[in-house]
Amino acid sequence: MSLYAAQTFNPATDFSIGVNPNGVWTYGFSKTLGGELILFRDSLPFFAVFSRTGLGRGLQMWYTNDLAGAFADPLIALNPLSTTTFTSGDSVVEPGGFAMHPGPNGEFCVLRFTAPRDATYTINGAFFGQNRRPTSTDAHVLINGQSVFDAFVETFGQAGRQDFTITRVLSKGAAVDFAVGVGQNGSFASDLTGLDLEVTQVTDVFDAKSDFSTTTNPSGAWSYGFSVTLGSDFVSLDQAVKRNTLDYWISASGPDPGVGHNPTKLAQVLNEIIFKPHQLAVHPGPNGEYAVLRWKAPAAGQFFMLANFVGEGGMSIVDVHVLQNGQSIFDGSINGPTKRSSFSSIRAVAAGDTVDFAVGYGADGNYQSDTTGVDVQIRPVNQASSTNLTIRAAVEVSWPTQNGEIYQLQSAPTINAATWQNVNGPFQSAGNSTNFFEVMSNPALFYRLLKFE
């Protein structure tokens, strides 16, 4: 069972050459602007030797070779290196950069975002030239085939950025296309075009890393602080500082306990810690203080909560907790770098309730090298249905699921039981039929499936 509740989508950090479509992203081209999307069927791994274009020697790539001529265009590519600029002739792709190129017969290169659920989305991005000759392309953003942004890219580099910010209410399944054509000169040559892009779901989901603020604490529903002991008074961190390229909240007594965030799309280093793009991390204090990320409920209701803790320090021996109004609802531990501890639950809260995600210095009593990544998403849900399930072969329960919906499996000894027990935690479906297996001491159990939306 998988859990997924991301709020911010980025085609560079989400990039894959393994599958197309890839989650919310689809890579392809169209013969006319807003025309039928034709998926790229060929992909190229990093550093593969590709005789048709020098771009294939240093980029990950989706492309098509169905077209006549000696080129792989149109194509979509990524420079996967975090510190090295890719250069081939006049083409330049910055570290971690995302690139698009139109085709020789006027084909539009298209990156498609498909809305995973009904919500309001903010689309922030920019097209810019990645060829020194320079690039000469037309760039567009279309929602369900209708253009909402059009511009020409006719210079090289960031000086000629064509920025856009679009906020729209999108229904689940709505298509947002980012398209690049051959431009006013009608030629596809030297038309490599960069796209910086983030699509953020701005309603219904609270995402700690995406909502991080460098200017105010508390900020919206989130607060950054610490407690002297687990569940004791919450103390706000009152100093916003830069630690190398990272944004941090600390106190006057020092950097620990602290809450930090990598604001860039590239990995960043602080001491021995490598912060992943847009990662949020906390560090406990030297005297046993718990670093605390606090969420305050803006309204009463049921909320789906997902938290992943991961050891990012050299030691990473920590204890991790989730507390509602100071009372523990989850306790775990991490014992070593890259080790994880995860929490998921559907919780009823009242307006003003607090949920704390706390990290202490662990069983070894040593706070050094205890940086811990914290990824938290919270969103309101309402029970939409209750479906009784049928046991097959006494140990297998099967059911169809819908992409993006949240489910909770429950069991009871009788079909009319007043109380049903949760089987594991809630999960969010990827859209495939799901099987749950359990070795049961009493096979005469009944199952039902709760769906939340």
Model's pTM, two decimal places?
0.57
Residue 394's identity, in one-letter code, is: A
- The confidence band for 435, taking pLDDT boundaries of 50, 70 and 90, is low
Top pLDDT among 70 and 380 is at 380
8-201 and 206-379 have identical folds: yes
pLDDT per residue as tens digits for the range 413-432: 888 899 999 988 888 775 55
pLDDT per residue as tens digits for the range 328-343: 999 999 999 999 999 9
pLDDT value at residue 443: 59
Top pLDDT among 429 and 217 is at 217
The single residue listed with the structure tokens 């202490």 is 360
Q: How far apart are CA 328 and CA 52, in angstroms?
A: 60
pLDDT value at residue 51: 42
Q: Which fold has domain 8-201?
A: Jelly Rolls (2.60.120)
Q: How far apart are CA 337 and CA 410, in angstroms?
A: 35
Strand-strand pairing, 317-324 and 354-360: antiparallel
pLDDT value at residue 67: 45
CATH for 206-379?
2.60.120
Q: How many CA atoms lie within 13 A of 66 on its CB side?
A: 14
Q: What is the DSSP letter of 340?
A: E
Q: Where are the domains of the chain?
A: 8-201, 206-379, 383-452
**Least trusted range by pLDDT, from 11-25, 56-70, 301-315, 361-375:** 56-70
Mean pLDDT value across residues 98-121: 91
Residue 57: φ, ψ to 5°:
-95, 0
Contact 217, 237 (CB under 8 A): yes
Cross-strand partners of 428: 406
CATH for 383-452?
2.60.40
- Strand segments, DSSP code E, in 277-413 are 280-283, 290-296, 301-311, 317-324, 327-335, 340-349, 354-360, 372-381, 383-389, 391-392, 396-399, 406-412
